[in-house]
Amino acid sequence: MSGERILVIDDEPQVRRFLQIALRAHGYEVIEALNGESAIEKCATENPALVILDLGLPDLDGQQVIARLREWSQVPIIVLSVRADETEKVRALDHGANDYVTKPFGIGELLARIRATLRAHQMDRPGNSEVTVGDLVIDIAVHRVRLRGETVKLTRREFDILRLLALNAGRIVTHRQMLHDIWGPAHESETHYLRIYVGQLRQKLGDDPANPRYIENEPGVGYRLMTQDGDA
C-alpha cells in the first residue's frame, strides 16, 4: 500500500466518488477539488504526489490548469477526460501533462498509468544517467545502449530519439516535441521522419509495435518509453 496522496480534480460527484473508493482501496490517500482555482490552491498547500485532472471544469479549462501548474510545479498530471480528440491530447501533453486517459476508462488501466507515472517521476533525479527498461539499459551520459548485456549500435538520430524518450520515461513525448528537439523547429510537421527512425530503432531493439516492450505508440500523438518491461 503506497500511501501517496492523489489530488482528483473533477466537478462530477459520481466520478470523484468512484475514484475515491478505487484509489483508497489500493492504498492511496485522496483529496479533491471541484474547480481549477481550488485545484491550484490545493496543489500548493496539500503537496500531492500526483494529480488526476478533468479538462471540463466550471471555472478554468483544464488546459489552463496544466499551464498554470507548470509555471511552478512538476507534480505529475494525468488528464482524465471525455475529450478524445488528438488535438486536445497533444495540447495537454505539450502544456506539461504526463499522461492522458479518455473517459469511459477502466480502473485497472488508470491504476497502471498512476503506478507508471509515479515510478517515472521517482526515476527523474539528478546523477542517474542510466535508464533501465527490463533488459534494455540506456546510458545517457556515455551514449551507450545495451540489450541483454550486449551493446546495440545506433545511429546518432536513433540514439537522440531513444535519449529523449528515456529522459521522459513513462511520459508521452509528442511528435511535435520530438521533431522540434531533434530536427529543429522547421521540421515540426514532418512526422514521416519519426516513423522511419522509430521503425529502425524498434527493429534493432527487437520491439514488436503490436506488442511493445519498450516503445509505446499513441497514434497521432507521440511515443512513450515504458518504465519497465511491457508496462507503460
Identify the structural domains of the chain with CATH numbers, from first to last: 5-123 (3.40.50.2300), 130-225 (1.10.10.10)
Q: Which of the four pLDDT bands, split at 50, 70 and 90, describes residue 127?
A: very low
Give Cα 27 distance to the centre of its chain: 22
Judged against a pLDDT cut of 50, whether residue 146 lies above it is answered with: yes
pLDDT one-digit tens code per residue, 30-84: 999 999 999 999 998 888 999 999 999 999 999 999 999 988 888 999 999 999 8
The alpha carbon of 203 is separated from its chain's Cα centroid by a whole number of angstroms, namely: 23
DSSP 8-state class, residue 79: E
Q: How many CB atoms lie within 10 A of CB 36?
A: 25
Which is more confident, 167 or 41?
A: 41
pTM over 0.85: no
Place of cell 507515472: 117
Alpha helices in 70-221 (DSSP H): 86-95, 107-123, 156-167, 175-182, 191-205
Kindly list the distances between the CA atom of residue 111 and the CA atoms of 14, 80, 94, 115, 149, in Å, as whole numbers in the listed order. 18, 12, 23, 6, 31
Check pLDDT > 70 for residue 232: no
Split at pLDDT 50, 70, 90, the class of 228 is: low
